Chains A and B, each alone.
Chain A
Amino acid sequence: MEYVSPEGLRLDGRRPMEMRQLRAEIGAVSGADGSAIFEMGNTKVIAAVYGPREVQHRSQLNNDKALIRCEYTMANFSTGDRTRKPKGDRRSTEISLVIRQTMEACILTHLMPRSQIDIFVQVLQADGGTRSACINAATLALADAGIPMRDLVTSCSSGYLNSTPLLDLNYVEDSAGGPDVTVGILPKLDKVTLLQMDAKLPMDIFENVMQLATEGCKAVANYIREVLIQNTKQLENRHADQLSLSLFRKLLLYGFCSWRIIKFLEKDVEEET
């Protein structure tokens, strides 16, 4: 099957080195300390962060650093067919472990000893590159929660089909049986923290493919930085608004309460007379 046409266009019309469209939203889960939705093309992932908070199982308490826990699940409806076992299977456990270890490398855990940080990631729509989207979403959620980090972690995948390195594979390209390289980097330090690869690749071609994925990560990093700056600006405005809003709400409530009390008292007085 032809994944790259002779003109150099992929199945969805992209060029080989073109990434899918990115979209991020911060603050999706209001009950969480930090949350984010991250979309890469048709892949949509939501991440929520709780913490730092008290350790729930005292036996796991660590005296010099924070305990990081991570859970990765796929929603039943995320792939085409309804999945039977969305969590607890081996693939989910491995990806949970991978995400946890990747985020652990960038969180400054020694600043929050004896506490726990929970990261929950759920895939809402799966179209290839779920691992990368999860890590990007987790980074945003951690930044939203204000957890001290060494650097952002961004991730992107790449592959090699029809003798061409391709950036950001979607599901069809991923299941073609060719190699799939997922890279996670710390962009400012320019260091690789996550690297996973399967299927076969000669070593020199692998170097090109990894380089391409790293470039993709840097592009994602720029986008995430933009989103965070936008969000911080909005938060500053939102706070000012919220203050006045809450005051207004309080006034309304007091007004309503006092009106009810007066009505009640009036009724009493009426009944007496």
Chain B
Amino acid sequence: MWNYDLFKRAITLSYKRFRRILAGEIMEQRLANSLIMTVNEKNFIEAALLSDLRVDGRRPFDYRKLSISFGREDGSSEVQLGNTRVMGFVTGQLVQPYRDRPNEGTLAIYTEFSPMADPSFEAGRPGESAIELGRIVDRGLRESRAVDTESLCVISGKLVWAIRIDLHIIDNGGNLVDASNVAALAALSTFRRPECTLGGEDGQEVIVHPPEAREPLPLIIHHLPVAVTFAFIGKENVVVIDPTHHEEAVMGGSMTATLNTNGDVCAIQKAGGEGVLQSVIMQCLRIASVKSGDITSKIKSAVESYNTERSLRKIKRHNPPAGYKH
């Protein structure tokens, strides 16, 4: 009997010690995973903003350098905004439509936040920020009807195209929302889906033509909703555009406005954080409309050069150089 009591006591004590050690280790791991910030940084960022200066030399309403490039396949894009890198992939599949929308195709956005981009991301299930990012991009594209879904219908009620956008975060240098949005738009603009015709005896059979037989079709995109993110830093809520990783760590709140060049506001996301005056919000929207014009023209010119390059490649394929025999 006394043996059992001692045994139980030993187990409880060692378990308690184990838990304490585990808590210490987990604390160290959590410290190792998050960004190590000094108090100097927070004070300096706020003080410098009072003279309209940011740590990387930008002014409060300057964007970082944006570069858009494409992969070999249609519908793959890579965007670099400062130190932030995001890749977007668009794929399409034939599926059954939703019961309440039998004539429309579907659009779905999936985000992949791997710990490679930032040690504070956890592998496996998407965390809160991953889901929020997906929802912001989704709201900007889907609710504003940027992509025409009715043209994705093949057989009403039976078969429609389901477009899936995968966003992979490669490097987190701050402001993932804007970079991911541009990646999604660029990938959608260069995506081509195979052409399908109805055939068979009753006209219900769908023939999907391979790209070699018939030229695949691009998506019909009505407008490009561009996301512009603002951060509110410090007690006076100074507004900066396109925050870096360090600015995101010290900000009191942020707001993402998605606008297009037609002057429409497509989506706004300000999820809590410091309260701001309504006049500040309207001012931010006006600045955002200017910035979205810049970004839209960048996307359009990048897509155009990709398209010309693509048609050149096709011409080379169909007209092989002299001396080449099949």
Contacts and interface: CB of A to CB of B under 8 A. Distances in A.
A–B contact, 8 Å CB criterion (strictly below): yes
Interface of A: 58-61, 90-91, 93-94, 96-105, 181, 184-186, 189-203, 206-207, 210-211, 214
Contact of A203 (B23, B265, B272): B265
A193 B270 CA distance: 7
Nearest to A201: B265
A193 B272 contact: yes
Contact of B282 (A90, A181, A207): A207
24 contacts: A58-B26, A59-B27, A59-B29, A61-B27, A94-B135, A97-B128, A98-B272, A99-B272, A102-B271, A103-B272, A104-B273, A105-B274, A190-B277, A191-B274, A191-B275, A192-B275, A193-B273, A196-B268, A198-B266, A200-B264, A201-B265, A203-B289, A210-B278, A214-B278
Interface stretch (B9-17, B62-70, B139-147, B241-249): B139-147
- Shortest 4 CB-CB distances between A and B: which pairs? A191-B275, A101-B272, A102-B272, A59-B26
B265 A98 contact: no
Interface string B278-295: 100110011001000000
Contact of B145 (A184, A197, A200): A200
Contacts of A96: 128
Nearest to B135: A94
Interface string B35-66: 00000000000000000000000000000000
Given A90-B134, A210-B278, A101 B265 contact: no
Interface of B: 23, 26-27, 29-30, 128, 131-132, 134-135, 139, 143-145, 253, 255, 259-260, 263-278, 281-282, 285-286, 289
B124 to A, nearest CB: 14
B266 A90 contact: no
Contacts of B276: 191-193
A6 to B, nearest CB: 27
B30 to A, nearest CB: 5
Contacts of A211: 278
A57 to B, nearest CB: 8
B272 A90 contact: no
A193 B274 contact: yes
A4 B53 CA distance: 50
Contact of A94 (B132, B270, B278, B289): B132
Contacts of A189: 275
A201 B264 contact: yes
Given A200-B264, A202-B263, A104 B139 contact: no
Contact of A98 (B263, B271, B281): B271
Contact of B271 (A196, A199, A200, A202): A196
Given A199-B266, A202-B263, 5 more contacts: A99-B272, A105-B275, A192-B278, A193-B253, A193-B274
Contacts of A99: 272
A33 to B, nearest CB: 22
Contacts of A91: 135
B144 A198 contact: yes
Contacts of B30: 59-60
Nearest to A193: B275
A195 B268 contact: yes
Nearest to A210: B278
B272 A105 contact: yes
A210 B285 CA distance: 13
B265 A206 contact: yes
A105 B23 contact: no
A197 B268 contact: yes
Contacts of B286: 203
Most A-side CB within 10 Å, residue of B26, B134, B264: B264
A200 B23 CA distance: 49
A201 B277 CA distance: 21
Given A199-B266, A202-B263, A192 B277 contact: yes
B253 A203 contact: no
Contacts of A59: 23, 26-27, 29-30
A200 B278 contact: no
A97 B263 contact: no
Nearest to A105: B272
A198 B27 contact: no
A93 B264 contact: no
Given A101-B271, A196-B268, A203 B285 contact: yes
B57 to A, nearest CB: 30
Contacts of A214: 278
A257 B131 CA distance: 59
A265 B150 CA distance: 87
A61 B271 CA distance: 23
A101 B26 CA distance: 25
Contacts of B143: 198-200
B265 A90 contact: no
Contacts of A94: 128, 131-132, 135
Contacts of A203: 259, 263-265, 285-286, 289
Q: Which of B30, B131, B144 has the most CB of A within 10 A?
A: B131
A32 B274 CA distance: 28
